[in-house]
Amino acid sequence: MRIRVSLATAALLGLKNCNLKVKPTTLYFLLSGECKGNCLYCEQKKGRLARVKWPEFDFEDILEKIKNIETKRICILSIYNEGSAERIAEIAKKIPNKAISTCVNAIGKKEMEMLKKAGVERIGIGLDCCSKRVFNKWKKNVPSWEEYMKALKDAKEVFGKVSCHLIVGLGESDKEVIDLMKKLKKDGIKISLFAFSMGLETKVELERYRAIQIARYAIEEGIGKFYFEGEKLKEIKVPIIEKDAFMTAGCPNCNRPFYNERVSKIYNYPYELSEEEFIKAVKEAEKYARICITN
């Protein structure tokens, strides 16, 4: 079986030579083959997923390296095509004793049960869009919004541990993203935020992304209050902000270094921020919305 390996993961496995500014704490793999979906923000057909290149290898040739490397997590990203869940299960069975996540589209409950049985520990659902309105604009030739909602519910029942991938910058309003994050929190689903990028450029304003990162953090911690003017976020009241707010969120130990951004302008920090970086990140958010730290 052929499999795509993120360039940084390939470097860690000794399959490629490249200089890693930050090491991935999860190893990332992507099913090879054609994705039948036609999500307008996705550049997989051009050989890239987000900003990342995914060289292809023979899975059996690299299996021993995967088994022997110490890593905190392995993530297998799916494509929208028949038999994808079966292929993920096949891969998972061959790498026992590792924490395995998979990121899938809206698959059925039976497929989820099969993945769990094969050893997948957590599941991420690639909803990506923050409202049905945005979903219908961007996500083509994939299951419907309602099917994704059902998949999130099924995933919670089957796995318990679920993340939902959301991309900021696809034309959603602040209220849409915050309302959806609140619903996910209520349903016990973790939020994995991505910044929209095309080509090598990140397309969402950093200041807005910072405010939404604080909102994500506050919602997950159950501590924030949000005030809007129309659909636009005006103020966040929060008793505390921690560095986590600006770090890559999702499954434990998933840091996706520079997945959506250049090293020189970080959106999701793949490491714990320095004090200086933290203060700068809060100030960036304050340029977009009032951040009120209060009890």
Interface with ligand SF4 (CB under 6 A), residue from 84, 101, 202, 213:
101
Amino acid type, 137: K
Amino acid type, 37: G
The window from 60-68, 148-156, 247-255, 270-278 that contacts ligand SF4 (CB under 6 A) reads 247-255
Per CB under 6 A, 30 contacts ligand SF4: no
Per CB under 6 A, 241 contacts ligand SF4: no
Interface with ligand SF4 (CB under 6 A), residue from 39, 88, 91, 103:
103
Measured from the CB of residue 26, what is the shortest distance to ligand SF4 in angstroms?
5
Measured from the CB of residue 28, what is the shortest distance to ligand SF4 in angstroms?
7
Per CB under 6 A, 124 contacts ligand SF4: yes
Question: What is the CA 191 to chain-centroid distance, rounded?
Answer: 8
CA-to-CA distance for 264 and 258, rounded, in angstroms? 10
| Buried-state track 68-96, b at ≥16 Cβ within 10 A, e below 16 | eeebebbbbbbbbeeebbebbbebbeebe
Per CB under 6 A, 26 contacts ligand SF4: yes
Residue closer to ligand SF4 by CB (options 150, 165) is: 165
Torsion, Cα of 93, 94, 98, 103 (10° steps):
-60
Site for ligand SF4 in 151-170 (CB under 6 A): 163, 165
Contact partners, residue 119, CB within 8 Å, separation at least 6: 92, 93, 95, 96, 100
- Look at the block and give the residue holding tokens 């993961």: 9
| Buried-state track 260-286, b at ≥16 Cβ within 10 A, e below 16 | bbeeeebbbbbbebeeeebeebeebbb
Residue nearest to ligand SF4 (CB): 250
Contact assessment for residue 172 and residue 138, using Cβ atoms and an 8 Å cutoff: no
Per CB under 6 A, 197 contacts ligand SF4: no
Listed in sequence order, the DSSP H helices in the chain are 7-12, 59-68, 84-94, 109-117, 132-138, 145-159, 174-186, 206-221, 275-286
The window from 146-154, 234-242, 250-258, 274-282 that contacts ligand SF4 (CB under 6 A) reads 250-258
Question: What binding mask, one character per residue, do residues 34-73 give for ligand SF4 by CB under 6 A, x or -?
Answer: ---------------------------------------x
| Among 210, 218, 221, CA closest to 289 | 210
Residue closer to ligand SF4 by CB (options 192, 202) is: 192
Interface with ligand SF4 (CB under 6 A), residue from 24, 169, 250, 257:
250
Question: What binding mask, one character per residue, do residues 68-87 give for ligand SF4 by CB under 6 A, x or -?
Answer: -----x-x------------
Measured from the CB of residue 279, what is the shortest distance to ligand SF4 in angstroms?
27
Residue closer to ligand SF4 by CB (options 24, 169) is: 24
- Which residues are 125's β-sheet partners? 104, 164
Residue closer to ligand SF4 by CB (options 50, 62) is: 50
Amino acid type, 70: E
| Among 150, 158, 81, CA closest to 112 | 158
Kindly list the residues in this chain that would bind ligand SF4 in the complex (CB under 6 A).
26, 73, 75, 101, 103, 124, 163, 165, 192, 250-251, 254
